[in-house]
Amino acid sequence: MKYGLAFVGIGALATAGLGAFSYANAKPEAAAQYTASGALIFPKDYREWVFLTSGVNMTYGAPVTGMGHDMVDNVFVDPQSWQEFKQTGKWRDGTVMIKEPRMGANEGSISKGGTFQTEDVFGLEVHVKDSTRFKDEWAFFVHADGQPAEAIPGDAECYACHKANGAVDTTFVQFYPTAKPIAEKAGTFDASK
Ligand code: HEC
């Protein structure tokens, strides 16, 4: 009987110890997952990530007219990278940022004016930082249909505009109201942009 109890006791300790060990060593899954050929797998949980901003009808060059509807974009970042950004004001390797462009609508249900968002998403835009994978550290992807997407080539407009105008490391932190003060404090914010 005594042996039996001791045995159960050690067994319980060993199990608890093992549990703690594996928990402490469990690495959160990387936000960016790739196919064997290097295409980015659609980040299906991005709506559970950290919300940075929504922009309504933003245009970056000549004003766009005649669209006939409003566009709303929502920007998200993966939670682990946000935790680190809060400490350092920098985007770590592995950062994944998403821009989700949505069709806006004005009238519906009790809404008679203003703009609300609808279920229609026009291709998910993704910005990933990984210096071990991309020679310029960051790469862009667009998921049109939920399928894996190849990186957009480096001579595309996306890279030129983000490099020239993004206030923190090619990202548009100047438009992300909770991220901006963190970067300003950390000295990583380019106020000329
Ligand atoms: C002329 C400038 C310009 C071009 C070209 C451009 N973007 Fe952006 N991008 C912006 C701005 C401004 C924002 C901030 C949006 C907001 O505040 O809602 C942004 C935000 C983003 C974000 C959110 C993360 C970040 O980096 O700040 C992603 C992802 C993104 N763009 C992807 C793309 C992709 C993919 C392309 C090319 C197909 C592209 N962009 C082309 C100006 C540009």
For residue 174, how far is its CA from the centre of ligand 1 (angstroms)?
Answer: 12
Distance 106 CA to ligand 1 centre (A): 24
Chain mean pLDDT for the chain: 89
Encode pLDDT of 101-112 as tens digits: 999 999 999 999
- Tell me what pLDDT residue 6 has: 47
For the segment 51-58, the average pLDDT, to the nearest whole number, is 97
Cα dihedral 139, 143, 144, 145, rounded to 10, equals 160
- Distance from the alpha carbon of residue 158 to the mean position of ligand 1, in angstroms: 7
> Cβ(121) to ligand 1 under 6 A?
no
Which band of pLDDT confidence, cut at 50, 70 and 90, is reported for residue 82? very high
pLDDT at 189: 98
Q: Give Rg (Cα) of the chain.
A: 22
Q: Please, are residues 69 and 104 in contact by the beta-carbon 8 Å criterion?
A: yes
Q: Whose Cα sits closest to atom 19 in ligand 1? A: 172
Q: How many Cα atoms within 13 Å fall on the side-chain side of residue 145?
A: 2
Per-residue pLDDT of 126-165, as tens digits, reads: 999 999 999 999 999 999 999 999 999 999 999 999 999 9
Please give the pLDDT value at position 63. 67
How large is the average pLDDT for residues 52-68? Answer: 83
Q: Could you give the C-alpha distances from 99 to 50, 51, 126, 181, in angstroms and in order?
A: 12, 10, 6, 21
Residue 73 Cβ contacting ligand 1 at under 6 Å: yes
Q: According to the model, what pLDDT value does residue 67 have?
A: 74
Pick left, alpha or beta for residue 123 (phi over 0 → left; psi -120 to 50 → alpha; otherwise beta): left
Mutating to test ligand 1, I would choose from 158, 173, 188, 189 the residue with most ligand atoms within 8 A of its C-beta, which is 158
The finding on whether 157 has its CB within 6 A of some atom of ligand 1 is yes
Whether 142 is in the pocket of ligand 1, judged by its Cβ within 6 Å, is yes
The Cα 189–Cα 9 span in angstroms is: 56
pLDDT above 70 coverage of the chain, percent: 84
Q: Which two tokens stand for residue 49?
A: 């990530």
